[in-house]
Structure 1
Amino acid sequence: MTTLDVRTIPPVNRHPTIHDAFEELEAGETLTIVNDHEPKPLFYEFQAEVETFDADGYEVEHVEDGKFVAEFPKRQA
């Protein structure tokens, strides 16, 4: 599992950074994102554009104010 805290990354660079990290995963692995808001727009973007994204395995938890932890699993090969 790879964890990426994007809270310190400028918003304009977040999605490209996340996409790059997801592409580096092996099939069956999960990218965990720590974000300052619920990443619903990112979820919809992945669902529409990333064929290897397992949308059924997506989970998000609101840990505290300003901290959301979301799991973006990559499909098994």
Structure 2
Amino acid sequence: MLRTEAAARYTGLSVSTLEKLRIAGGGPIYCQPTRAVLYDPDDLDRWLASHRRSSTSVRIGASHDRVGENKEGDDA
């Protein structure tokens, strides 16, 4: 288990970013058995893998290829 500072080094994120993600949601899974926040390296790896992108406009596994294109069956 890694404390926030070590998790930040592990992921390449800042401590502040991890703290903000804990508040806003969308960050890696963590636990807080005491005052210390702890991250499992396996959870960090899964979270990092789920945020991989091939470009700034395409998400891996997205249902559309480019920003602004409609999803299948979307008439908007």
Same fold (TM over 0.5): no
- Name whichever structure is richer in strand by fraction: 1
Report the TM-score, using the length of structure 1 for normalisation.
0.27
Which structure would you say has the larger Rg? 2
The structure, 1 or 2, with the larger RCO (C-alpha pairs under 8 Å, 6+ apart) is 1
